[in-house]
Structure 1
Amino acid sequence: DWTKKCEALTNESYELINGDTYLCKDTFLSASVSAGLVMEATRKVIRKHSKKEKKKYALTLNRPPGHHCDGHNSHGYCYINNVAVSIDQVRHSINSKIKILVLDVDIHHGDGTQKLFYCDPFVLTVSFHQYDGVFYPCTGKRKEYGPSHLHEAFGTNINIPLYHDFTDYDMLYALRNVVWPIVEQFQPELAFYAVGTDGVEGDLAGPDTRLTPLVFGQICFELKQRCNKIVVVTEGGYTTSYLAEGFDSVLRALSGVGYNNVYSSSFTRLWVRPEMRKAVDFTRRDLKSKWNFPELIFDDSIYLLLCAFAFFIYMQKN
C-alpha cells in the first residue's frame, strides 16, 4: 500500500514505485487534493439546479493526474484515478445508472480508466493516444471495444491510436466521423474531458506528434454541442507554455468568450493522413452492429482530386 509508505518517509527521503513513479512524504496529500478537486467540481456541475441552468461546466487545474491508475496499480505519475472516484461519487449520491462520457486526449493511453470501466455499459470511454506497441504504456489497441460477450458494454470503449506525425486534423477527423456519432447516440448526462497537453509538438514527454494547443479548445467547443454538463480534468503535459496555451484555448471554448472556431471547414479532410482515414473506416465497420454512422462527406476519388487541386494552388503561389 503506497499510502502507508508515504507515512514512513521523511522530508528528505523518497521511494520509487513501478519504475517511473516516485513517493515522497506528501504524495498522498497531493493526490488526495487533486482527486478532491475533481470530485468537488463534479458535485457542483451535476447537482440539481433550476431549469434555467441546464448547462453547467467546470475546469480543474489538478495535479497529479490519474488516468493510468486502475485502483490497484499506481504508475505513470498517477496515484488516484481522479475521474473514476468522481464517477463513483456521482453514482452513490445521485444515480447509479447515469450515462457518463470520459473523453481522454492525453498522448498516453488511459489504461487505468479503460480497465475500470471496460465492462460498464453506462460509461463511454474514449482515448486518443499515440500507439505503436512501444510508446508508454504500450496499451490501447484500436479493436478493444469492450467485452464482446456483453452486448450492452460492447462498443463503449473506443481507442483512437494516433500514428507518427499525426496532426490536429487527424484527431478532428476521427472525432467527427467516429466519436461524435457514438456520443450523440449514447447521450451522456455528464462528460469528463481529460486534457493532456503532452501531445503538443515539442512537449518534454517526447511524443512523435504535430499537435497544436488550439486543438484542445476545438474539441471542447464541439463537446459542448453534445453534452450540457462537462468537467474538464488535467492529465499530462510537461511544457508549461503548452499547458498555458492549451488550457487557455479550453477555457475560452468552455466560457464562450473570445474563442475562434478555426477548424470549422469540412475541408480539413484534405490534411488527414491516409493511415487515419483507414483506421476510421475500420472502426466504423467494426462497430456498425452497435452504432449508426452517417456517410462520410467525401469519397476517396473526390479526396484525391481536392488534394491535387490544393497542391496546384500551392505551386502557383510559390
Structure 2
Amino acid sequence: MYFWDPDVGNFHYGPGHPMKPQRLSVTHSLVMHYGLYKKMQVFRPYRASSHDMCRFHSEEYIDFLERVTPQNIQTFTKSLSHFNVGDDCPVFDGLYDFCSMYTGASLEGAVKLNNECCDIAINWSGGLHHAKKFEASGFCYVNDIVIAILELLKYHPRVLYIDIDIHHGDGVQEAFYLTDRVMTVSFHKYGNYFFPGTGDMYELGAESGRYYSVNVPLKEGIDDASYFQVFKPVIQGVMEFFQPSCIVLQCGADSLAGDRLGCFNLSIRGHGECVKFIRELGLPLLVLGGGGYTVRNVARAWTYETSLLLDEPVSSEIPYNEYFEYFAPDFTLHPEVV
C-alpha cells in the first residue's frame, strides 16, 4: 500500500530553506511514470487530528501549531522560542495541514498493517524523526514515526525501528528510551558538531529500555561497501536478539552522495540495498521518508526503493515526466557517484 496526498508537495518552508516538500511531488511523478502504481494499492491518506498528534505531543504544543500562521506570528513571540519554532522550523502557510497530512499517512499505514490489509505500507512524506514531545526540531514538527509506532504497539509486542537518514533519529530514540518494546537502531554521521549532536554508541537506553537503543556513529565519506558491511551484521544481530514482529524503516535520503546537507558517499543502489535487505526479512513493514535535500536524488532513491519493495525491476532510463529537466544531463535513475 502506498499513501499519497496530492496536496502534500505544495507546501513551502520558505525561501532558501533546504527542506522542500516539492521533492514528494517529484518522487510521486516518477513512481507514476514508471508504472509502479499498477503494482500496488494507492491510497489518499487520512489526515491526522490534533487528538492523534497528542498521542505523543503535548496539547499546548499541538494547539500552538494549529493556531500559529505567518500572519499572526507576532502574537506568539513567547511560544516561538518555547516550542523551538523559528529558523530551522519556520512558521509557513498551511503548517498544521502539512503535519496533518504526513502524520495521517504514517498512522493509517500502521493501522493497515495492524489489520493485515498489507505487508508493506509506504509513506514517503513521513519519517520526520527529530520532533520532540514538546517542541519542533530539525525541520520536523510532528513526529509521525512515534505516533505510528504507538499504533503498531496495540497489536505488536515488539516493534523494530531502523533509521538510515544521515542524521541521528533522536526524537524516536528519546520517545522509546525507557521501554523494551521498541528497539531503535540508527546509522548516522556523528561528530564535529553534526546535527543533532546525539547518537554516540554509548546511548543504550535506560531502565527497562537499557540495551534497546542501538547507535552506529559513522564518519563522513562512507561508501556503499563499508556502509553495508556495518549495516547487515548489525541488523542480523538485532533481529536475533530482539525478534520483532514488525519493522518501521526511515529512509532519509540525505545519506546519499551529493546531498546538500549530507556528507556520506552512498549511491542510490547502495541506499536501496539496505531497504531491500529489510524487505527480505519478510516482516510487516512501514516504510517512511525523512531527510534529503538534493531533490532530484531524493526522487531517484525513493522511486528506486519503491520498485525494490514491489520487487519490480525498473529501467535506469528516467521516463518523460513533468519534472524531466530536474534529471539533466544524464536522465538516469543511477547517476555516477564521483
TM-score normalised by length of structure 2 = 0.67
Query: Is contact 2:124–2:290 with CA below 8 Å preserved after alignment?
Result: no
Identity between Structure 1 and Structure 2 (%)? 24
The 2-side partners of 1:241 and 1:251 are apart by 15
Superposition pairs for residues 63-78 of structure 1, below 5 Å? 65-78=127-140
Report the Cα offset of residue 196 of structure 1: 0.7
Correspondence for 1:198: 254
| Corresponding residue to 1:170 among 220, 223, 226 | 226
Residue identity in the other structure for 2:124: L
Map Cα deviations across residues 203-225 of structure 1 (whole Å, 9 max, x no partner). Answer: 111x2221112223211211122
2:286 counterpart SS class: strand
1:23 counterpart SS class: coil
| Corresponding residue to 2:264 among 199, 209, 216 | 209
The 2-side partners of 1:242 and 1:8 are apart by 33
The 2-side partners of 1:123 and 1:233 are apart by 17
Correspondence for 2:102: 34
User: Gaps (5+ residues) in structure 1?
Assistant: 50-54, 261-318
| Corresponding residue to 2:281 among 213, 226, 232 | 226
Map Cα deviations across residues 23-46 of structure 1 (whole Å, 9 max, x no partner). Answer: 124111111111001111121122
| Corresponding residue to 1:79 among 138, 141, 153 | 141
The 1-side partners of 2:304 and 2:204 are apart by 30
2:90 counterpart SS class: strand
Query: Is contact 1:67–1:110 with CA below 8 Å preserved after alignment?
Result: yes
Report the Cα offset of residue 146 of structure 1: 1.6
| Corresponding residue to 1:9 among 62, 69, 88 | 69
The 2-side partners of 1:10 and 1:135 are apart by 29
The 1-side partners of 2:271 and 2:131 are apart by 23
Residue identity in the other structure for 1:203: D
The 2-side partners of 1:178 and 1:144 are apart by 16
Q: Is residue 177 of structure 2 the alignment partner of residue 139 of structure 1?
A: no
User: Gaps (5+ residues) in structure 2?
Assistant: 1-60, 75-79, 316-338
Residue identity in the other structure for 1:61: W
Correspondence for 1:258: 313
Query: Is contact 1:111–1:140 with CA below 8 Å preserved after alignment?
Result: yes
Moved >4 Å (runs of 4+): 10-16
The 1-side partners of 2:113 and 2:281 are apart by 16
Superposition pairs for residues 143-158 of structure 1, below 5 Å? 143-147=202-206, 149-150=207-208, 153-158=209-214
1:249 counterpart SS class: helix
Query: Is contact 1:18–1:74 with CA below 8 Å preserved after alignment?
Result: no
Correspondence for 1:284: none
Map Cα deviations across residues 83-127 of structure 1 (whole Å, 9 max, x no partner). Answer: 110122233xx43x6211111111111111110011110111011
Superposition pairs for residues 101-116 of structure 1, below 5 Å? 101-116=160-175
| Corresponding residue to 1:128 among 187, 203, 211 | 187
Report the Cα offset of residue 13 of structure 1: 6.4
Correspondence for 1:47: 115
Check 1:144–1:181 CA distance in 2 against 1; reply closer, same or farther (3 A cut): same
Report the Cα offset of residue 133 of structure 1: 4.2
The 2-side partners of 1:105 and 1:75 are apart by 18
Report the Cα offset of residue 11 of structure 1: 5.5
Check 1:3–1:238 CA distance in 2 against 1; reply closer, same or farther (3 A cut): farther
Residue identity in the other structure for 1:88: L
The 2-side partners of 1:171 and 1:229 are apart by 24
The 2-side partners of 1:250 and 1:155 are apart by 30
Superposition pairs for residues 266-285 of structure 1, below 5 Å? none
Query: Is contact 1:6–1:25 with CA below 8 Å preserved after alignment?
Result: no
Residue identity in the other structure for 1:250: E
Report the Cα offset of residue 195 of structure 1: 0.8
TM-score normalised by length of structure 1 = 0.71
Check 1:164–1:90 CA distance in 2 against 1; reply closer, same or farther (3 A cut): closer
Aligned residues: 247
Query: Is contact 1:11–1:24 with CA below 8 Å preserved after alignment?
Result: no
The 2-side partners of 1:67 and 1:12 are apart by 28
Check 1:5–1:174 CA distance in 2 against 1; reply closer, same or farther (3 A cut): closer
Q: CA RMSD in A?
A: 2.3
Report the Cα offset of residue 228 of structure 1: 1.8
Check 1:226–1:184 CA distance in 2 against 1; reply closer, same or farther (3 A cut): farther
Q: Is residue 124 of structure 2 the alignment partner of residue 61 of structure 1?
A: yes
Residue identity in the other structure for 1:7: R
